[in-house]
Structure 1
Amino acid sequence: MNKTDVMDPLDILKQYTPARIGVGRTGTRPLTKDFLSFRIDHAAAVDTVYGEVSKDLLKRLNLFSIDTCFETKERYLTRPDQGRILSDEGKAIIMERCIQRPQVQIVVSDGLSANAIEENMMDVYPALLDSMSAYGLKVGTPFFVRGGRVGCMDAIGEVLKPEAFVLLIGERPGLVCAHSLSAYMCYKPRKGTKESNRMVISNIHRRGTPPIEAAAHIGTVISQMLKQKTSGVNLVL
């Protein structure tokens, strides 16, 4: 084998990651093309944090909307705890419109990426409902939470008392992907639920965990939760 036939180790690494490794430089500065690519991806990450999920999408998914106590995007970013607390109006709405004590409660939230909902939900959500049906599981009344954090599962659990819970929420955007979705799952989430009791399927998007494949796996996990009556580190899959 000639020396020219041996691949550079850095080139091999670059085949397996979209991360910015081995980018070119001129002196102490990155190449213009690499610098502009960074600026574009950074702008996309900022836009999705401050973006809004369209009312048209929520209408197509037949999801009504409630708010947490986040008030503004700036407050949402600096006070994560406010995204875990439902507004009084939000509590009243779900008490009025939702099935109480459902077997499975599904909630969608923008979280830190509105684009994650816009890009993935039309694939994930119908497939998730199909997966629940295939396992013979009964879903309550799904809805959308604006300004939600993962811990809003517990606040909603206190109100609706579901047996199992699925939260589809936008992930913190990065410089590789600004539309990644996560699915958090928990058995009987209530106030004081430990993080070790939650489970998550992350990086749900077309270049990561395929949305339809993720939806099918969520159904498997939830069915096992209900059989074993537990979740998190205690669940055996």
Structure 2
Amino acid sequence: MSVSLDYHPPTEPWLDILYQDKDIIVLNKPSGLLTNPGRGPELADSLFSRVKAEYELSQLVHRLDLSTSGVVVMALRRNAERELKRQFAERLVKKRYLAVVAGRPETLSGSIDLPLAVDADRAPKQKVCKLHGKAALTHYRVLQHLSNSAVMELRPVTGRSHQLRLHMLALGHPILGDAFYADDKALAAAPRLLLHAAQLQLQHPYSGKLLDFSANTDFISASGQLNWPTTDFAC
């Protein structure tokens, strides 16, 4: 992952733990913190390295982008790691994101089925590629129309890199604050990427019990209530 050397991850709280038992730990990752360490000592701080310092056997099972906030689950035992990775690989984990996008989508709900591939000339950016891309499917719903933006609920079926950011761009409504894909106006409309992993539903790796985790963010609650009035922007 290519990240600017000007990396100053948030430190308060050091770890926002939503749930923990002997098998898993669930956290609310803030925007601006890497999920796993990057290359070089200046990028060593990450959600995973913080958890690893306290739980030596912890293992990553999925990731969020640097700029994306929200729910992340990690395994605390090897057997739990294998089972959680199986659930993600078989698309059994249900994910719900919240975003604020530029413009007002005319279609209030729908699905985006566009394959994605790395953009070799502009890595780590991705691109829609029907010839060589991997299948990517996102269901979306408009929760609230603002004067020139909208609060969206996004439910990805697949988990491709930058999937939600590219699918919203393909819909004609880039996510506000997206430094990779938004135009200048949409980028300047927010001090961070307005994308949050609000909910994660999975089976406990040992008991099989259905677990449902959610987390609020600074710009919108997990229920979809906008609480940051500065996200709208002028035409």
Higher fraction of helix = 1
Give the TM-score normalised by the residue count of structure 1: 0.34
Higher fraction of strand = 2
Give the TM-score normalised by the residue count of structure 2: 0.34
Q: Which structure is richer in relative contact order (CA contacts within 8 A, separation 6 or more)? A: 1
